[in-house]
Structure 1
Amino acid sequence: MITQEPTKKMLDEYYCVYVKFKDKLTPNAKSGTELITYLQKNYTLIETDDKDAKDNLIYNITMNICNAEKLPTNTLPVPRTFYLENDAKAKKLYNQNTPRILIAIDTITSFFSVEESEDLYDELLAYRGLDDKDIKNYVCVSQYIAALKKFGKLQQIISKNIMESSIQDLLDNIE
């Protein structure tokens, strides 16, 4: 999760990660609805109608070309917002200084935001994956790789992509 304005050094590091992994990734993005289902399965959510969070999510999608181009023509984002209940399931995400964790997810683009928990943001990023546009964006790839490493899933994703690519190569050669 990027929490500050990236420096040139950070951007250079992101690019190095991108070069190393870009050819080992395939689109695997989950939908916004799948993200919500994942959260509901793993945590206790309280849906809320947080207008500020919804407006912020819409703004971040429509004002960022990388996100806006994922919207179908003449379609606006459809955000849903949730509080993550501070219970046994979410204990690892809360500490005594953490206020309520707020999650906003667009059901159209699967763009999301998380307030008050970098760990949950990274968990959702690792779960959601990347679409074909994200894979061409070195910052997106770098952040995804960092999230996968954080949760010990990098090798699993890379191995799966290599296997699927090898199978497809074999099938292409048969035809």
Structure 2
Amino acid sequence: MLVQSATPQMVAQWKAIWCEYRDRLRPNRRSGGEVVAYLREKYPLRELHDNAATRVVTDNVLHNAYLAMKLPANTEPTAVAFIVEQSGTGATLYLKQDEVFKGNDIFAGVDLSSGCFFVEGSSLLHDELRAFQGLDAKDIQNYFLVAEYISSLRRFDLLERIVP
């Protein structure tokens, strides 16, 4: 999860990771529905039914050309949004919350149509979902997404299991 402005050194590092892994990666991207099922199975969630929360997800998809292209033809985003509760497995996310997010709720939003997800308040949850969801063929051509995916796999000690 990128939480700062990219520097030229960071971009160079992302490109180096992309060059190392792009030919070893195979499309394995899970759908938005699978991401939601994973979240619901793993964490206590409070679903947000207000327009403002789902609008955040919808706007992020529609106003980002790369994400908007993930929408199937003639399809609008179908957003769901959650707050991770501070109990059970959710409490662990709050205990490990990045300093910049301390004291804030952890928000997770998923567009069921495109599969795009968004997390605010926890780089740990973001990276966990990135590792779980995987990449599609187009994502594998994006050096930032590949570097983020590889970093997420490393964070959860999954790299050797998933990338040959």
Name 1:122's counterpart in structure 2. Answer: 127
Question: Matches of 1:50 and 1:4 in 2, distance apart?
Answer: 29
57-66 or 124-133: bigger deviation: 57-66
Question: Matches of 1:155 and 1:17 in 2, distance apart?
Answer: 15
- TM-score, normalised relative to structure 1: 0.86
- TM-score, normalised relative to structure 2: 0.91
2:105 is aligned, of 100, 104, 109, to 100
SS in 2 for 1:24: coil
Name 2:153's counterpart in structure 1. Answer: 148
- RMSD in angstroms over aligned alpha carbons? 1.4
Quick check: 1:36 aligned with 2:41? no
Aligned residues: 159
**Which is richer in helix?**
1
Quick check: 1:79 aligned with 2:84? no
Flag the structure with larger Rg: 1
SS in 2 for 1:10: helix
The one-letter amino acid paired with 2:2 is I
Question: Matches of 1:150 and 1:140 in 2, distance apart?
Answer: 15
Quick check: 1:135 aligned with 2:140? yes
Task: Structure 2: give runs of 5+ residues left out of the alignment.
Answer: none
Q: Show structure 1 runs of 4+ deviating over 4 A.
A: none
Q: Deviations over 1:46-77 (max 9, x none)?
A: 11124333222222212222111111222111
Task: Structure 1: give runs of 5+ residues left out of the alignment.
Answer: 160-175
Contact 2:81 2:107 in 1 (8 A): yes
Displacement after TM superposition at 1:39 (Å): 0.9
Question: Matches of 2:4 and 2:51 in 1, distance apart?
Answer: 25
Matched residues, percent identical?
36
